[in-house]
Copies of this chain bind each other. A is one copy, B any other.
Amino acid sequence: MTVSANSLQDFLAHCRSVVGDDFVVCDDAGMAPYLTDWRGRFTGKAAAVLRPATVEQVRLLVTACAQWRVPMVPQGGRTGLVLGSVPDASGDAVVLSLARLNRIRAIDPVNRTITVDAGCILQQVQEAAAAEGCLFPLSLAAEGSCSIGGNLSTNAGGTAVLRYGNTRELCLGLEVVTPQGKLWDGLRGLRKDNTGYDLRDLYIGAEGTLGVITGAVLKLYPQPKACITALAALPTPDHALRLLTLMQDRCGASLTGFELMSAFCLALVAQHFPQLPRPFTAPHGQHVLLELSSNESEAHAVALLEDAIGAALEQGIIDDAVVASSIAQSAGLWQLREHIPLAQAAAGKNIKHDISLPVSRIAEFITVTEPQLQQAFPGCQLVCFGHLGDGNLHFNVAPPDGIGHDAFLANQDAVNRVVHDSVVAFGGSISAEHGIGALKRDDLAHYKSAVELDLMRAIKSALDPMGIMNPGKIL
């Protein structure tokens, strides 16, 4: 697919005529920020970085890519974790950055929708919604720099999935430029629309391999009046599952957070961030951070949470609990959860897994998989925490005491295989919220059925017959 030097120059000249000289970046220094992934693990090469400012410019650039057969890599905030938005090492592709396409197009508080350009930063969308008294619930660590187009393309998860779903569930309409340079206007703000195939959900989660998302209509929710947090201590993951059932039965949609943290996770936080609160003096095997939201009042949230915690204590499901009596105290409890990844980073590198399981099988999965890891890598340390309510665990494996982190990382493929084989045996997913990108492409080919891979390839060939849209990602 390499384009000859002359032809490439013609192509770039055409691109300059579309977006202006300043926005076709070809020099190494100018391109550098667009070529390296978020974690700094890989730097690709590109023929150019194209920076359109309007949907029509995107359409014209994609049309040119199709005409000259130049592969393109759509790129948002470049915060993905699976190398989905950076080009490969060939240097054949152009990066198509959506960063300048960053207008909030419209907000409709009665329809509870917001219409945005794909390049809007997630936090910008949250703030625009809040200014109208609404909540856009998608929330994740990278929200200050990730773009909504990237969130859509990867079907991002985050901390509010238990109540509000993944990005997929938060999107009503899409606008997409096809690999042929056609504009599909699917910007509908409708709760019900059964007029043909669901194209929207095909582009969501396709990681830019089927087309370029340029805009979206997103769902908004009423802003809750209060969010109250509690930390419960309990002996095992199985008790955490019983607590989840009890909380959902009593609180329904008011339960907006349910995060598991093992004793080892909290010990790691205590070691590296001694200034943070230590809610319990006695040791406990597991901890659950609970969050309740109320559209009624803070008093309602507190009473509901205290009653439920009381019932859980009475039934012997939990051993101890702290209910935050203020928003400041709630924030303190969340800090414990948020500092686990930071404490891990301070302790040194480990081998990370972004897995999901049927919620009911999580306890058994941990019970079965931990000894398998211990047998294969004696002394390895499990850093297990995550969105238990969504069945999503961060199941990270740190080296045994005395073994260097880099030396242990040499085992990455073997560790992945133990964990992922077990995940698949339990009916789980090897990528809960990060996607496939280039990083997990071989894993996908290994674990997916031939039927499913063939169906995906048929769709890819139908919508991108030239294979120029983010090649080498997913398939």
Q: Tell me if A195 and B249 are in contact (CB < 8 A).
A: no
A182 CB contacts on chain B under 8 angstroms:
451, 454
CA gap between A359 and B250 in the complex, in Å: 31
Question: Residues of B contacting A85 with CB < 8 Å?
Answer: none
Contact among B249, B293, B431 with A194 in the assembled complex (CB-CB below 8 Å): B431
For the complex, is A337 an interface residue (Cβ under 8 Å from B)?
A: no
In contact, A195 and B448 (Cβ under 8 angstroms):
yes
CB-CB contacts below 8 Å: A217-260 with B: 221-222, 224, 241, 244-245, 248-254
B197/A456 in contact, CB under 8 A: yes
- Report B-chain residues with C-beta under 8 Å of the C-beta of A178: 451, 455
Contacts of A427 in B (CB 8 A): 188-190
Q: How far is the CB of A430 from chain B (nearest CB, A)?
A: 6
A202 to B202, Cβ gap below 8 A?
Answer: yes
Q: Is the CB of B433 within 8 A of A296?
A: no
Closest Cβ–Cβ distance, residue A310 to chain B (whole Å): 14
Do B463 and A360 touch across chains, with their CB atoms under 8 A apart?
no
- Interface presence of A198 (CB below 8 A): yes
- Tell me whether A241 and B157 are in contact (CB under 8 A): no
Contact, CB under 8 Å: A191 / B390: yes
In the complex where A110-B360, A249-B222, A252-B222 touch, is A194 in contact with B463 (Cβ < 8 A)?
no
A41: Cβ under 8 A from any B Cβ: no
Residues A356 and B449 in contact in the complex (CB < 8 Å), given A111-B391, A252-B222, A456-B197: no
A347 within 8 A of B: no
Question: When A191-B161, A391-B192 are in contact, do A451 and B113 touch as well, CB less than 8 Å?
Answer: no
Checking B201, B391, B462 against A201 with a beta-carbon cut-off of 8 angstroms, the contacting residue is: B201
Once the chains bind, are A195 and B429 in contact (CB under 8 Å)?
yes
> Which of chain B's residues have a CB closer than 8 A to the CB of A472?
none
Asked if A190 contacts B391 (CB within 8 A), the reply is: yes
Chain A, 170-209, contact with B by CB distance < 8 Å: what is the 0/1 string?
Answer: 0000000010001111101111111111110110111000
Decide if A52 is an interface residue (CB 8 Å cutoff).
Answer: no
**Is A474 at the interface (CB under 8 A from chain B)?**
yes
13 contacts between A and B (CB under 8 A): A133-B249, A161-B192, A178-B451, A190-B429, A192-B432, A194-B432, A194-B435, A195-B429, A196-B436, A197-B205, A222-B249, A459-B462, A459-B463
